Structure 1
């Protein structure tokens, strides 16, 4: 009896539970008129693959796909954009990606574009010449093109450096120009070369050199003339004057240069007597009055401080211009050697020099000094993966300025480099190095120099003191940690190498570019190949004040422990640099530049410039 009663009660309990469940189902699942049903994950209840779904919910409860309201996935915050200035610098936006990602991408696209647009035929080259320079090419331009084709010269349109040097002279009366040249030949320390109708050869015909130095200095000019041996038959008669020294000295006056350029553009010429009076304002004489260089007085005792935000080089040629970047006047021996600057030339003086700045008007040849075909033996320059030292390497002498009691040698480029990177006091601001371009670069972080400098940099003077008075030489020996010069094999252990100006342009750049190392380069001298190389594709450009040095180095090699490194990108640029050196800086490339330069110069020098103009392919 007891068991029956228990069974009866169990049945009743089950019935009660079922009734309650049914009631609750109606309460919780019945649709309400004032609410929409939302779900994060909903089965497609009307799907033919779910036949039982219609038995579980009433028709008015089942959701169609277009009725489902899903929460929106948060969108990533767009990164900020960096600012590209007219001075050749990119100003960093902390909310943007690390700028080197962008600089490399842009440089690669520009480099590819140059090749895509390059002339393939003589007619195309003539048309491109006219488009760029608004005049016809010089006589025997077709012979120059034959040389280009025969020797597979790359980028045959990229010779704007020649136009930069010679175009102003087209605005000067050629008779006056020849008179200026005669006066130049009377100056000290010059060498004269000539090509005449009577001789097929270009020869050194005169010089004004210190006794005992004639053979050594004239050899430098003969080395240049050897580049023209195969093509000198096609170069018209001319006379030219060379400086045998490393650096330029023909400071331009902005008014004179501007007036000459305007005359050249108009197809007219000016007498020397028609040129404006020059400004006696030193280096600033070469700058347009509205330029940044004129914004503040040139006070070498109180140099302006370059503050944040961070900047990187976006156009290396523009960054070399002290009119746009006046800090160069405070940081480079080329300018500091003459304090606020000498007086400018009263006219345009057509003197050839081994290098020039953007405020001088010295004419630049392609210089074979330091040229090599390859680093041999190749075992001295191991592949990237086998280079074991990831510090940035530099060894060199203390050239760049004379070290005396009255010169500002401490601020000159080489002294500044060695002092700056070996300072163990204080901190340095360095940008983070995100692994990709989808993260903001952020604000710089402070790192202790005592940790950073020994770990990242191996930069010292080497050899013996020079360019100094006896007193200063003794001081320099104690001031710097002088090292021995390195062999090619010793230098080959380093992944990263630095190149910097000396008294003039760097004579070691060709050798460094031929290696498997990544070259970091700081310079104020545009060279014959400036239009024919791509910073961020073939080398890493660095500002003269070194304000971007740590940021560029840590981007590639990473922080103290390699964090944030972009080794593959570094290896790619190093490899592209070596390939460029062997493909774009052969002796044939030096000759192609010199051939075209002297075809242009012969026309500038001639009293009948029209007769030395290429006309066979005149397109009207």
Structure 2
């Protein structure tokens, strides 16, 4: 068997003190058995090449691609946007901006004046007047990051009010019937006016002097949250008629939809709670969100992330913009692959929602940590948060001597750093304390010494995702949240997708790391023998994700996306929006 030996300097090992760490793991390179992940990786390569074949460089080509995909003319200022993008070497593929049009599409059926006035009435917002951020209103901790972002492009913006969500959780959830009506009406009215009839400039709106004619937006704080948001699912989807189970004391079974032989094959559908009703009782942010303030009316609320049935407008998250935080590692992206240890490292708090003695066993982070704990797996009593047999069935091994707990013990360094449950009560985590031992934090740049970095939702999206993508390690991503950059990333090429039940976690790790047979173990030199791993495939995904993030997820790319988003948003706020656009290229043709 051809093998590669992976080791790390002993000075790093004090970071992994809660379980014994082998000094070396010998990983078998490849398995004679064809694996479904091989096919998924091959398909991902084809998908990326197809995307890149649509890349445009000239203003004329970009405008043509816009009209073909959007069915209308680009917004006023499109030439300024393109010049800005080109000056910053942005990779321009029209598909990369689909999120903007999915989010703003329904607003074309809402009166423009209503959108403007609702934006003015929301408390946390950035105000742009005369090409400058004029006023700052709201919670400064997060708002300041977005202000800094907008200020970088303020000289290219028309007057507008930008309402921002200061919570981790999304804020808008409109019924499927209403959104369908909005979308159908907008689609029926969409057209490309003759070039000579198009209005090419934004009007000088006197927004601040307009008389408010609409009621101030209201927000529901009622629970259960799931019963509020499932109204946003299509009527023929599995979830709209499924209420939250009354008994949340035991884990649910985990089906495997949208997979190829047990591994995620349709990433978009795999993240959609409307298509998987069991997620209503297996993800903390759907069971009991820590903060709940939801509008059931379509209002212009800009957020960092959302579920499929939410109607927030997504923009680059403040967490990705800030240069100093627990998730910002500067130029530290980790050692080269051959210098990394073959370990799965994760640290975090037990967030995800308000977990209680009645519901904590259903929470996603609790389930993930217990899954990667050898003691819990080998326990005489059943695990608290998952059913073991389905997880074992996802491990593709050529023999029946796979010892799960021993394997987990060799590769896993996963722990909570703090138990966080409900807010405001004493001894609030007494229900979880007997099952979880907390560990010290591991700074993110130190986590990069490991090859595998799972990324799990908290109360909202995970702010560490971008740092993981930029690292030299493999991000293993599980999420229900949509973000601005989703259409730029290809699963199985830039990262490894994982189901939110984590039923495929062992199978994913067995593919990349390999497994231990009955007679394998740790010898006197501290060497663990792994069979059938795919170390080279892991290395390629790590490097492909890093190189791609450095091309399309830079701060400059966030600004390119934000400028395009705000030009489109401003057009939707214009009374004469149906005849507005950029058509200089068509007028030049004559």
Which of 398, 416, 420 is equivalent to 2:350? Answer: 398
Does residue 384 (structure 1) correspond to residue 337 (structure 2)? The answer is yes
Q: 1:204 to 1:219 in 2, by over 3 A?
A: farther
Q: Could you tell me how far 1:354 is from its partner in structure 2?
A: 2.1
* Matches of 2:445 and 2:150, distance apart in 1: 34
TM-score by length of 1: 0.73
Q: 1:257 to 1:493 in 2, by over 3 A?
A: same
Does residue 154 (structure 1) correspond to residue 87 (structure 2)? The answer is no
Q: 1:601 to 1:312 in 2, by over 3 A?
A: same
Q: Could you tell me how far 1:178 is from its partner in structure 2?
A: 3.2
> Any residues of structure 2 matched to 1:33-432 within 5 Å, and which?
97-157=34-94, 158-182=96-120, 184-185=121-122, 190-196=123-129, 199-207=130-138, 217-267=139-189, 282-294=228-240, 298-301=244-247, 305-307=253-255, 310-337=261-288, 345-371=295-321, 375=329, 378=332, 381-388=334-341, 390-405=342-357, 408-422=359-373, 423-424=376-377, 425=379, 428-431=391-394
Moved more, 467-476 or 314-323: 467-476
The alignment partner of 2:48 has SS state of helix
Q: Could you tell me how far 1:377 is from its partner in structure 2?
A: 6.7
The alignment partner of 1:369 has SS state of helix
C-alpha offsets along residues 377-432 of structure 1, whole Å, 9 cap, x if unaligned?
75x822111112x22111111111123456x2331211121123222246542445
Moved more, 162-171 or 96-105: 96-105
The alignment partner of 2:316 has SS state of coil
Q: Is the 8 A contact 1:366 1:590 kept in 2?
A: yes
Moved more, 232-241 or 354-363: 232-241
Query: Looking at both structures, which has the greater relative contact order when contacts are Cα pairs under 8 Å and sequence separation is at least 6?
Result: 2
The residue aligned with 2:569 is 601
Q: Is the 8 A contact 2:329 2:445 kept in 1?
A: no
Identify unmatched segments of 5+ residues in structure 2. Answer: 1-32, 192-212, 221-225, 380-387, 517-528
The residue aligned with 1:530 is 486
* Matches of 2:296 and 2:421, distance apart in 1: 34
TM-score by length of 2: 0.76
Q: Is the 8 A contact 2:395 2:506 kept in 1?
A: no
* Matches of 1:161 and 1:446, distance apart in 2: 47
Which of 582, 585, 592 is equivalent to 2:550? Answer: 582
C-alpha offsets along residues 437-469 of structure 1, whole Å, 9 cap, x if unaligned?
xxxxx9x96854432332232211014646553
Q: 1:149 to 1:254 in 2, by over 3 A?
A: same
Q: 1:166 to 1:360 in 2, by over 3 A?
A: same
* Matches of 1:311 and 1:464, distance apart in 2: 32
* Matches of 2:320 and 2:289, distance apart in 1: 27
* Matches of 1:465 and 1:297, distance apart in 2: 26
C-alpha offsets along residues 13-57 of structure 1, whole Å, 9 cap, x if unaligned?
xxxxxxxxxxxxxxxxxxxxxxxxxxxxxxxxxxxxxxxxxxxxx
Which of 403, 424, 428 is equivalent to 1:472? Answer: 428
Q: Could you tell me how far 1:476 is from its partner in structure 2?
A: 3.6
Q: Could you tell me how far 1:286 is from its partner in structure 2?
A: 0.8
* Matches of 2:449 and 2:556, distance apart in 1: 31
Q: Could you tell me how far 1:181 is from its partner in structure 2?
A: 3.4
* Matches of 1:403 and 1:363, distance apart in 2: 28
